[in-house]
């Protein structure tokens, strides 16, 4: 993809990073983003649901920092790397610590982005939406210029800080009618193509059908009557989560619906 002139970004939790990984990534991609969902292990690991994931993410960032320093020392362009944080209720009061405690550890870090978690996948469960997804007031605060500027003021001037409500991912009828912020196909590892980025439901396989036809079907899905009806009243996170559940179950395969049925109930940050 890089040889074809396509800009390649890698998003990772950093779990399997090795010392040789950074040099390989610098050779084949333009930017690496590490997901960090808490400024300390007790926050990050609980949100991710995997013990040790914070230390793995920090190790990946340390390796990326070392790689950037080495490349700069050789007169080569350092591989840009960044941090992305999915903001939920249980980490919303810890964002300042990213800007002060985490960012300072990585002088070559290029950016730090805080984006509200969206009701996709496990995040669309009724319990999760009620306990962890942001309220309207919290979303408004996170997406405000005042909040972004305050967080930016806490970080080094070399690091760009961004915030987002992520509502552009909803793709409700009004958004589609006025023009989406971005248009994309999501290709699964087996070649199946999703019509809408955060929703279940594929429109065919890239290994078997022309890309132009798959794109036509994807665009058609955006205005499907079922999609339009489900999303037309999804003005809140809870409403959006309900719409996601309906769309996923309607357009998902039998395998997808079985997976949805097996999802455990989310009972709250403390497990009760």
How far is Cα of residue 191 from the mean position of the Cα atoms in its chain? 21
Q: Are 24 and 30 in contact (CB under 8 A)?
A: no
CA gap 10, 50 in Å, rounded: 21
- pLDDT of residue 34 exceeding 50, the answer is yes
Write down the pLDDT at residue 130: 84
Q: Are 222 and 231 in contact (CB under 8 A)?
A: no
Domain regions of the chain by residue span? 9-169, 173-261
- pLDDT per residue over 83-138, tens digit each? 999 999 999 999 999 999 999 999 999 999 999 999 999 899 888 888 999 988 99
Q: What pTM was estimated for this model as a whole?
A: 0.90
- pLDDT of residue 271 exceeding 70, the answer is no
Give the SS3 label for residue 9: strand
* 204-235 burial: b if 16+ Cβ within 10 Å, else e: beeeeeeeeebbeebeebbebeebbebbeebe
Average pLDDT of the residues of the chain: 93
Write down the pLDDT at residue 269: 60
Write down the pLDDT at residue 104: 93
Write down the pLDDT at residue 272: 42
Confidence grade of residue 270 (pLDDT, cut at 50, 70, 90):
low
Residue 87 bridge partners (DSSP): 116
CATH number of 9-169: 3.20.20.70
Confidence grade of residue 175 (pLDDT, cut at 50, 70, 90):
very high
- pLDDT of residue 151 exceeding 90, the answer is yes
Q: What is the mean pLDDT of residues 265-270?
A: 72
Taken in order 229, 89, 155, 52, the sign of the CA dihedral is negative
Q: Are 85 and 114 in contact (CB under 8 A)?
A: yes
Confidence grade of residue 261 (pLDDT, cut at 50, 70, 90):
very high
- pLDDT of residue 6 exceeding 90, the answer is no
- pLDDT per residue over 180-233, tens digit each? 888 888 899 999 999 999 999 999 999 999 999 999 999 999 999 999 999 998
Q: How far apart are the first and last CA of the chain?
A: 46
Q: What is the mean pLDDT of residues 26-49?
A: 94
Of the candidates 155, 35, 37, the residue with the CA atom closest to the CA atom of residue 100:
155
- List strands edge to edge, sheet with 192-194: 186-187, 192-194, 202-205
């Amino acid at each position: 993809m890089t040889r074809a002139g396509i800009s390649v970004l890698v998003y990772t939790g950093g779990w399997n990073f090795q010392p040789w990984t950074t040099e390989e990534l610098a050779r084949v991609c333009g930017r690496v983003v590490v997901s960090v969902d808490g400024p300390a292990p007790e926050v990050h690991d609980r949100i991710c649901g995997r013990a040790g994931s914070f230390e793995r993410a920090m190790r990946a960032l340390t390796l990326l920092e070392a790689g950037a320093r080495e490349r700069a020392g050789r007169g080569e362009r350092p591989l840009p790397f960044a941090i992305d944080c999915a903001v939920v209720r249980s980490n919303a009061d810890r964002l300042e610590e990213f800007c002060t405690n985490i960012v300072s550890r990585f002088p070559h870090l290029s950016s730090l982005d805080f984006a509200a978690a969206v009701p996709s996948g496990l995040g669309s469960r009724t319990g999760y939406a009620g306990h962890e997804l942001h309220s309207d007031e919290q979303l408004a605060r996170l997406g405000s210029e005042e909040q972004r500027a305050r967080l930016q003021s806490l970080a080094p001037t070399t690091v760009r800080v961004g915030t987002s409500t992520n509502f552009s991912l909803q793709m409700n009828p009004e958004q589609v009618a006025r023009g989406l912020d971005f248009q994309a196909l999501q290709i699964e590892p087996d070649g199946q193509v999703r019509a809408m980025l955060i929703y279940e439901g594929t429109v065919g396989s890239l290994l078997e059908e022309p890309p132009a036809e798959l794109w036509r079907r994807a665009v058609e899905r955006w205005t499907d009557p079922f999609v339009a009806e489900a999303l037309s009243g999804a003005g809140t996170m809870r409403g959006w989560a309900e719409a996601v559940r309906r769309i996923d179950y309607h357009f998902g395969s039998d395998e997808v619906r079985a997976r949805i049925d097996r999802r455990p109930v989310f009972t709250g940050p403390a497990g009760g």
